[in-house]
Structure 1
Amino acid sequence: MSTPLRRRSNNNSLNGNHTNGNSKMEKKNNIAKKTDGDDGEGLKTASFMTWTARDVAYVARHHWIPCLFAVGVLFFTGVEYTLLMIPPSSQPFDIGFVATRSLHRVLADSPDLNTVLAALNTVFVAMQTTYIVWAWFMEGRPRATISACFMFTCRGILGYSTQLPLPQEFLGSGVDFPVGNVSFFLFYSGHVAGSMIASLDMRRMQRFRLAMVFDILNVLQSIRLLGTRGHYTIDLAVGVGAGILFDSLAGKYEEMMSKRHSLTNGFSLISKDSLVN
């Protein structure tokens, strides 16, 4: 009996020889034979036909995270088909705005406090920028800089392509970033993505305490951005994913260029010592 999430480690320990090259070839041949049969035979030899209640219990116990997400798929499928959408004449609904109503009222009633928090947030953005540039100029590690370039360019493309309306309750400040209370793209959050890029680089360099400080400040700035209505919740969530994605893409770019470097002459952005796993 076999399922995609069975206890393979136990089976391998009892039957060590089953993991050699011959067993793999036999498994491939068996799969090919199953798929070559007619529909009736294919159904009889399908993997799910061998599942037992014990297999289901094992998956639920040891693989509860994907099970939880599977329940989420079912739940939100129902929500999507039954939810009445926001009418075109209304502002977008944002659960983060609902959760930060109290903070929004405080900031609206205290412009000075709003200015102070905006200034502190701008300082945090300067910290991110300083670290990312420092990593390249002073330490010879351009990955974070490359990632930031990828991220902000794609943010500009997406922000221009679909321009979200500025929330009616937006609380601006002349010292907020971008400084001067100018217009800005909402989707996605460059504040959050830049913080993620810096934090990931810190972890690669085993600067775990500094990375934790940046993560905490990132959470605080996210709460402030929701409280001031400077970003929608989706902007912040995608900002986290964007930071991770573009950091990964920058790493792949470094790896690709490092392979080519030995075949080229002249200046190269990537040095032999710049790759950090």
Structure 2
Amino acid sequence: MKLLNQHASFSGWQRFYRHDSTIIGLPMRFGLFVPETGNLSNVPLLVCLAGLSCNEETFASKAVAQAYASQAKIALLFPDTSPRGANIPGESESWEFGGGAGFYLDATEPPWSSFYKMESYIVKELIPIVVAEFGLGRSFVGITGHSMGGHGALTLAFKYPRIFGSVSAFAPICSAMRSPWGRHALPRYLGGNEQAWRRADACELLTSTGVRFPDGILIDQGMADEYVHSQLKPELLEEACRIAGQSVTLRRHERFDHSYYFVSTFVADHVSWHAKAAGR
């Protein structure tokens, strides 16, 4: 693992690393914010997933989550959004698929299945590395994300409730199967059988797995978001939560769009949400 750069940020350090991923089979980058504290083993970890066309620096540099993580003594982990350097034909042709758009799943269709395994990478490799190398997240791990990253936060939390103790999202793709973005990506990553897509759809997972988060789920959605009705569809998650008996706080905000101006406005509430779940 190589430290690429570091920046003093509030009462901690924002660092960026590169390491050779055994699961992806390529070098991967990630960001890590560590608050100033004496005992890292007691510091909870909040995984922050960015959206389409983003990378490991996007959430870290635009959401200002470090300000509130410093106060709560929570570490922040910023994974990349896809493998880099796979050199698969068509990988860079669209901003909503391929590079920068891994959808936080494990592809089963060649040629994508050789490298696009972001689900396993985050859950089985990156988080364990951060726990082992830095001692962070031993007590608690939460997850949040924006847009495609919100989709990733919800689906990973519903699949791995023993790893993630809390979940929230900003303007998430609530049902990838019912989103044009998802319907563009899922058949390419997972094949044409829509049954396989259900394992990459937050609403389908929630209503089929029996997984529940007793403290609820926090969702913020801007109602001036150009994608709210066509791609994100928060009402579908609201209905899935009703059917599943899952408590959800879904806050709709007039005036706010899909940008990180929206995310940064409400990120304090999300850090506080996860801090409370972690007992901070």
- TM class by smaller structure: under 0.3
TM-score by length of 2: 0.25
Q: Which has the larger radius of gyration?
A: 1
More helix by share: 1
TM-score by length of 1: 0.26
